[in-house]
Amino acid sequence: MSAPQPKTAANAQPGRGDQPAANQPLLDIRARIKRLEKLPPMPEMTNKILRLSSNPHADVKELVQLVELDPSLAVQVMRYAASPFFAYQGKIDSVHTAVNRVLGYNTVLNLALGATAARGFKIPRNVPLGLDAFWRHAIYSAALVQALSAAVPKEFRPPAGLAYLAGLLHNFGHLLLGHLFKSEFLILNKFILKYPDRPVELIERRVLGTDHAAIGAWLMTAWQMPEEIVIATREHHNEKYQEIHAVYPQLVFLADRLLKRQNMGDVCDSEVPAAIYDSLGIGEYQATAILARVMEGAQGLEQMAASFS
């Protein structure tokens, strides 16, 4: 296969390690994936931001200058900082204010990374896994994962910015599926509408022979995204994952289940296994209170999601 190969985990390539479905997948795309000569390239702005993130000497000034090169990104950063979720009493009149006084360097860096990475992926809007649904869930999930991460005990608490990015990108496989396999993506959405009570990843494997977690992790690996993001993308439906960087997929798993209570996202169950709370060191009441606090900023998050999509 001449497409970029996963460097982190053997099963990051779509279809590898999948358990066979009860019947042959209806539209098995695994062979077509293996014939792909190349994946969509990382956008240049994303590449610049990724390089900045790997520079230990980079500072707020450099980040602000980079964000300001992209007017729509600058507006999105300022809008997020102005969200009631952060309860900042002053005026957000610049990207510098948003970074320095509200969001912090790492959150803005990862927000910019996620926002620019999705550019160029053209998929339908008004379907269950379409662009509008993707961004609405991604924005809420990122905010919720970041808020939940602050409640994780200090000894294994993840950096807030990286937690935010895990929430923002974990369903990126839907964008890649819709971009590369448009007809199959539309058929998949019809099945999801027909069987709303079945897990989306199970429907994907039955219809396509792979799922969005595997294909998303494949792209994250090919783009050399942080290993934490690859794992969060690949394992976010796996409640039993306990290996390296487990805190990231566990936080995303928890956020997805909590957001289902707000009729948001692609999971079909809002119940959270006790093992997830135990692994994260977060209580059920505490998680519910954090969800309520995030939802207080819904107006700002809705505006932000609309600007992204």
DSSP per residue over the chain, as a string? --SPPPSS-GGGSTTTTPPPPSS--TT--HHHHHH-S-PPPPPHHHHHHHHHHT-TT--HHHHHHHHHTSHHHHHHHHHHHTSTTT---S---SHHHIIIIII-HHHHHHHHHHHHHTTT----SSSTTSHHHHHHHHHHHHHHHHHHHTTS-GGGPPPHHHHHHHHHHTTHHHHHHHHH-HHHHHHHHHHHHH-TTS-HHHHHHHHHSS-HHHHHHHHHHHTT--HHHHHHHHHTT-TT--STTTHHHHHHHHHHHHHHTTT-SS-S-----HHHHHHHT--HHHHHHHHHHHHTTHHHHHHHHHHH-
Total residue length of the chain: 309
Q: Does 242 lie in the same domain as 107?
A: no
240 exposure class (CB count in 10 Å sphere: 0-12, 13-18, 19+): exposed
pLDDT at site 90: 87
Q: In this structure, are 50 and 114 located in the same domain?
A: yes
**Average pLDDT estimate for 87-103:** 89
Q: pLDDT band at residue 37, thresholds of 50, 70 and 90?
A: low
This prediction's pTM: 0.85
Domain count, the chain: 2
Residue 8 within any structural domain of the chain: no
Confidence of residue 69 (pLDDT cuts 50, 70, 90): very high
Q: Is the domain of 33 the same as that of 158?
A: yes
Q: What does the alpha-carbon distance between residue 295 and residue 277 come to, in Å, rounded to a whole number?
A: 20
Q: Take residue 35 and report the two structure tokens written for it.
A: 């014939």
Q: Are residues 218 and 75 in the same domain?
A: no
Domain housing 177? 16-38+123-308
Query: Bigger pLDDT: 7 or 181?
Result: 181
The answer to whether residues 82 and 222 belong to one domain is no
Distance CA(59)–CA(52), nearest Å, equals 9
Residue 248's pLDDT is what? 98
Q: Are residues 28 and 127 in the same domain?
A: yes
Q: What is the 3-state secondary structure (H, E, C) of 166-218?
A: HHHHCCHHHHHHHHHCHHHHHHHHHHHHHCCCCCHHHHHHHHHCCCHHHHHHH
Please say which residue of 101, 119, 137 terminates a domain. Answer: 119
Q: Are residues 153 and 266 in the same domain?
A: yes
Q: Is the pLDDT of residue 135 over 90?
A: yes
Cα R_g (the chain), whole angstroms = 19
pLDDT score at 23: 63
Asked whether residue 2 is domain-assigned, the answer is no
Do 251 and 294 belong together in one domain? yes
Quick one: 155 and 24 in the same domain? yes
For residue 233, the model assigns a pLDDT of 97
| CB-based contact 220:229 (threshold 8 Å) | yes
Range with the poorest average pLDDT among 13-22, 182-191, 216-225: 13-22
Q: Are 70 and 112 part of one and the same domain?
A: yes
Q: Is the pLDDT of residue 235 over 80?
A: yes
Q: Does residue 22 carry a pLDDT above 70?
A: no
In 3D space, the residue among 167, 253, 246, 176 whose CA is nearest the CA of residue 218 turns out to be: 176
- Looking at the fold, whether 228 and 115 belong to one and the same domain comes out as no
Whether residue 79 is found in the same domain as residue 199: no
Report if residue 5 sits inside a domain.
no
